[in-house]
Every structure is written in C-alpha cells, then in structure tokens.
Amino acid sequence: MRIEMAKSYGFCFGVKRAIKIAENAGEASTIGELIHNAEEINRLRQNFGVKTLKDASEVSDEKKLIIRTHGIQKEDLTRLREQNKELIDATCPFVTKPQQIVEKMSDEGYDIVIFGDSNHPEVKGVKSYAKGRVFVVLEPSELDEIKLNSKVAVVSQTTKKIENFVKIVDYLMQKSREVRIFNTICNATLENQEAAAKLAKKADIMIIVGGKNSSNTKQLFLISQSFCKDSYLIENEDEIEQIWFKNKNLCGISAGASTPDWIIKKVVEKIEKISKF
C-alpha cells in the first residue's frame, strides 16, 4: 500500500503563531483551550507550564493570561484589562479581522449577519463586537422571520465552507438594498480542504488526523468522506485499526489545522508499519 500526504495539511499560520507565543510566555494560563487539540495542550502544560482555564469566568489570581486563537468576547477583554492582568494576545489575525469588521460596520449602522455556529467561541467573540443588531445563522431560512435593515454586513466564521457562505450572501442580496460582503474564511482551511478533496478522489482510504471537537478537522473529514467512503477521523495513532487497510492500494493522509506535526508523524509511522504486512 502506498501512502500519500495531502499537499497542504496540519497546522495553519495562526496555530503555529499561537504555540510560539505560548512557548515564549513562560508560566501563563490560556483563557479556554489555546487550540482544539488536547495532546498539544498537554505538551504545553508539561514542557512550558502553560495552564488552560475553561473560560474567562475561571480567571482568578492568574497574572499572565494568553488569549487563544479564537479570541475572547469583548466584555471579557475589557474586564481583564480593568483588572490589570498581563494579556498576551494569540488571537489569530484572521479572527481579529472579522471582530474589527463587525465593530466598524455596526458602528456605521449596519445589521450584522455572521455565518457560523452560534456556540463556537470564535463566533461568540466576533458577535460580541457588534454594537447593534447581530444575527448568527447557518442557513438562510433562519433569517426568514427577520426584517433586516436596508444596510447589512455579512462575515463568516473562519472555518466555514465558501459554498454555504455564498448561499447566505445570495439570500441577503435579495432581502436588503445594500449588502457589504466580507469573505472572512481563512485560506489555511481552504488550502487544506482542497488538498484533502484532491487526494480523497484517488485514495482507497483516507485518514484525517485531528481533535474530534475541532470544527475544521470535522469539515476536512466530511469533505474527504464525500469522495472516499473509507475515511476515518482519528485523534492519534492508537485509534488506527489494521483491518481498515485490507486490500487498499493508496492511503491518503490529511490533518486538521490544529493538529501538531508530532502526532501526524506517529500516525504515518504506524500506517507505514501496517502497510508492510
């Protein structure tokens, strides 16, 4: 069996940057998980003394706090600044961007539509920058009952699929006279998705490595599965089962944007071993 890695996979720019920041921060605590990957979070704790707090409400006497890649809500940021905490900002610039857009556009009187999961920390953070009306939706139909302002600005959660964002945009164009569209989907996700799709089209089996609570990893898995029915989402090499690879010629591998290289390497090594039997 041959093994082929997707052309683009794994850590994105924002995650690499956040990890560097955390490694250099010394004894600090992150507000929420720095990235969606339990094993990398453990490594940071063991090797660099970086602790993880559940969310901003858990902050007590910590002096140094790291803001995770997804960002935090504006009111939390303000409160922590007032408490004179040392804040180290590891928010991904691709997340800071929609925060700024939402703040500016709502200042200018636009209704804000965010295409995303309302419970996702990134979306909660972006939403918190709106000063006026803001709607978080996944489907255009969720806006049916709402009488939107004649001026609407729309942004997307960074990890969403462009095709679905376009559906929201299309719907808004029919509903409002002025629609300002900001494509805030980040390239890292798109590149990983395109590369996974390309590989899945020719592979007999696809292994997607990443945290099961990571939105972009799940997205990658769904894309892969749509082209290659034998697709598996795993968090580490222990979940691999030898039987999956029986009679397979090409195994494709990809990994979510918050999956560290050392985990991917272990997965590849295990599959290499299996492929020799």
Which amino acid, 218?
A: K
257 interacts with ligand F3S by CB under 6 A: yes
Smallest distance, Å, CB 120 to ligand F3S? 12
Cβ distance to ligand F3S smaller for residue 233 or 257: 257
Establish whether 33 is a catalytic residue.
Answer: no
What distance in Å separates the CA atoms of residue 205 and residue 200, rounded to the nearest whole number? 8
Residue 172 binds ligand F3S, judged by CB under 6 A: no
Q: Which is nearer to ligand F3S, 92 or 199 (CB)?
A: 92
For residue 114, state whether it binds ligand F3S (rule: CB under 6 A).
no
Q: How far is the CB of 20 from ligand F3S (least distance, A)?
A: 13
Q: At its nearest, how many Å lie between ligand F3S and the CB of residue 133?
A: 25
In the block, which residue shows the tokens 């979306």? 123
CB atoms within 10 A of CB 225: 16
Provide the H-helix boundaries in 26-148: 38-48, 74-82, 93-107, 121-127
Could you tell me how many residues of this chain bind ligand F3S (CB under 6 A)?
14
**Which of these is catalytic: 33, 62, 122, 237?**
122
Q: How many whole angstroms from its chain centre is CA 87? A: 22
The Cα 85–Cα 7 span in angstroms is 41
Stretch that binds ligand F3S, among 9-17, 149-157, 201-209, 266-274 (CB under 6 A): 9-17
Residues listed for the chain? 277
Which one among 8, 157, 158, 176 touches ligand F3S, defined by CB under 6 A?
Answer: 158
Residues sharing a CB contact under 8 Å with residue 196, sequence separation 6 or more, in sequence order: 6, 9, 206, 208, 220, 223, 224, 252, 254
Candidates 50, 136, 168, 186; binder of ligand F3S (CB under 6 A) is 186
- Return the residue nearest ligand F3S (CB atom): 14
- How far is it, in rounded angstroms, from Cα 31 to Cα 26? 15
List active site positions.
122
Residue numbers at the binding site for ligand F3S (CB under 6 A): 12-15, 69, 92, 94-95, 158, 186, 188-189, 216, 257
